[in-house]
Amino acid sequence: MKKIAVVLSGNGVYDGSEIHEAVLSLYAIQKAGAEYSIFAPDIPQHHVVNHLTGEEMKEKRNVLVESARIARGKISPLSKFNADDFDALLLPGGFGAAKNLSTFAFDGADCDIHEEVANSINGMIERNKPIGALCISPVILAKLVGKQIELTIGSDKGTAEAVTAMGASHQQTDHGEIVVDKKYKVVTTPCYMLDASIAQIGTGAENVVNKLVELI
């Protein structure tokens, strides 16, 4: 059975993983006949956001602990990820990808990528293994790879310009559409970077996962 590693960034769109994207990706992986293992870095969240009001809260949370809510406790620290053990890697979106896995939300094209995230992605690229990225998470690949890697974050002008500034080639897409970079085996789709319904998120997640399985 093909094995896909899923990297989460917390629990909730404003400060962690986008839950619809994460769960529907896990569903798509099993539906495609593959199996998943879930990882997250064992680090403090950048901040905590009240998802009812959108306001920042005065408390501290841990990315691994919060991601475990989505994983139902079956999750490992990203430090334990070994690219040799998996056939593909998948990054759901949510602001956690831009706040916890990277600093893109604050630094744009000048962002840094968390070391464990970079090591995991680079390990897969070095082994010519496919990587999927949803929503905002393709910016991480743009930063790490650059070199005109083809990807999409939908149609947001500012984010697309940042992606281009990092050396990637941005392709504008609509709901459920995917962009495949054949050289790096990277598959991306916009999800909630567009004004999407949960059904459209499911379609995007399935299309990415099915392509990943095809590329394995």
What residues are annotated to the active site?
135
Rounded Cα gap, residues 146 and 191, in angstroms: 22
Rounded Cα gap, residues 200 and 194, in angstroms: 10
DSSP character string of 64-117: HHHHHHHHTT--EEGGG--GGG-SEEEE--SHHHHHTSBSHHHHGGG--B-HHH
- Non-local CB neighbours of 145 within 8 Å, separated by 6+ positions: 125, 167, 168, 184, 186
Torsion of CA 190, 192, 197, 200, to 10 degrees: 20
